[in-house]
Structure 1
Amino acid sequence: MKRRHTLLAFTLALAPALAHAAPRVERVVMVMRHGVRAPIDGEVPAGTLTAAPWPRWPVAAEQITPHGAQAMAIRGRADRAWLAAQGVLPATGCPTPDSVKVWTNVSQRTIDSGAGFVAGFAPGCGIAIGHRAAGAVDPLFEALRAHTTDFRAADAIASIDTFTGGMDRLVARHAADLRLLDRVLACAQPTCSPGAPPALRATADGRAIELDGPIRRTSGIAQVLLLEAAEGMPHPGWGRATPGVLERLGRLHAALFDVFTRSPYMAAHQAGPLGRRVIASLTAADGPALDLLVGHDTNVTALAAALGVDLVAPGYAKNDTAPAGALVMEVLRDAAGARFVRLSYRTQTPAELGRLGSRVTTTPITLPGCARLCPVARFTAQLAARLAPAVAR
């Protein structure tokens, strides 16, 4: 009898501690940009002047490099260790069937990035890399091309002009960055990337928008210089693109997202299908321990904008995107059964990618109007309210 009373007293004493125990991570949803790739044709516009030739890349345009594939495998190993420390998956061995789901866009660079990640995350375990057939348009990653929403170019342009102050002001805000890029290119001309003045307009079919001007021309150049560093080239930007310079030039790349993904209207339409897919994964009664979606910089920036948050990471300009950078949403459950979302951004610096290092930085993000641990219902409701409705096509 005395022992029973002792056990009861111990249980009652333990109950408050259990009620306040740290929430347990149940699953993780990650939306990731692909890894280090060769420049895309036209990313450095024709007519761009430089003091010396551009370096050669080891693969065709826009493909993941061997270095980039290695970096993805290293990232996969690092994320496996991180998830194991969170108690989501075992540290070694093959995960149980259906505990890891990977879905990528149809572009080869996203497929190869998913494969590289899995090669490090669970080598030899045969985890499938899911994607649509070659040539298909996946609305998760290309919402405008798939015509998933009632997108109206005129409304988009009005929203972008309000968000940025207009294209002339956008260019004026980045005048110092444009001058810095000219110094890196060292072309001995007043402007190394000449072209048309800033202009934002609807495409001929009215289903998308087009941008001309300095931001359009230089954002890709800035990205190529960053990719040189992430590729481990010995002298990015002919030795003039130091880490600090690359971070400043990243503002030009981020400015492109101010036009194409970050205004409320563009975020709502660009992130519509992807946002709904994330909501479904976060609220499912059951699901994989890791749900990984591998797409492009526009997907990560549009989802961040739809969430109302900025992307901040060491080595990158605010709202620029890291190769293999991932928005991470952890679903946690406390002892009382309440479920929460914890949001963060996991990245590696260009220098760390370049040296094939394993250090990954997790930058916490707090959803506006919510605590660091945001109730699932509130998190998903806020996201859903910022997404454009789907339409039948």
Structure 2
Amino acid sequence: MGTTLEVKSLDNWINTKSKPLIIGGPCSAENKEQLMATGRAIAKSNKVDVFRAGIWKPRTRPDAFEGVGEEGLKWLLELKKETGLKTTVEVATPEHINSALKYEVDILWIGARTTVNPFSVQTLADSLKGVDIPVMVKNPLHPDLKLWIGALERINNAGITKLAAIHRGFYTYDNKPFRNLPMWEIPIELKRIIPSLPVICDPSHISGRRDLLASVAQKAMDLSMDGLMIESHINPSIAITDAEQQVTPDSLSKLLSKLIIRKEFGSAEFENLLEKLRFEMDQIDHDLISLLNKRNDKTRLIGEYKKENAITVLQIGRLRKMMEERLEFANNLNLDKTYISKLLQLLHKESIRIQTNIMQE
């Protein structure tokens, strides 16, 4: 899958205090006192570039707190004028966009519950035509890279070139210990497909709890993510929404101070050695692919032999024995069991596909 977006780098649409871009603020704007106190404390830390606050909250149940609405935008504008912090809010309807623009919000973001619906995204894209404002698009709730890219394309096609993606993790039935599984391979693939697109990580929604925030944020930095969006509340214990994943402004400042920001490139000596190691790894990969091809050749012979003798493709006893033996062998080499198990499942799936095709010839 390939795609081309006309995207400006972060440096072209926001002056960050440092690398990476840091977005912080409460999950929800609950009242003016809470928002102003949180914003002032965050501004005082001098570590946050953009202040976030949920003005409209898309909730699962209709009786849940759904945000203070446009009144909260007035508080955000007041905070912006007082502290100089840029502001960002989630928008889900054209009316939200109009209100945000009216109160001089600097950056808009599209939430996961909206990204999942192409009709909703297109409606927002139509409303953004002719508007020069940065837009960030969160990944959809479930792991669908094409859907995420499609949402980004719709916004970009509307003329928005100040564009970024937000990785907030993905919902599955077994997310432990996370609220939403990071599935880092998906944002990495997004960066591979669209290298110019800034990708910001949202450790708060991935973690769902304060004690995991630092490790998720650090991993995001180690994977060259372009920024972080972390929820912060002046008193998280009484927060109306997502209390467990919010931290105080002071805790946020300490978390950010402890982050290790690594360089993407090193010295000439380092790069030369790295290139040598990568060359050796490339050769190993080529050998692996050649071995996979040989394995498929043997699979075809087995499939033809089974067909000649009217034997079923799937043989559970053989599968169990193969998995047990290979996993034991891998364990003796100190290879990760989950990694090898997934690899073996892929190999077996391909064997089933090849043999099934032979049976149907």
Would you tell me which structure has more strand in proportion to its own residues? 1
What TM-score do the two structures reach when normalised by structure 2? 0.26
What TM-score do the two structures reach when normalised by structure 1? 0.24
Would you tell me which structure has more helix in proportion to its own residues? 2
**Larger RCO, structures 1/2 (Cα 8 Å, 6+ apart):** 1
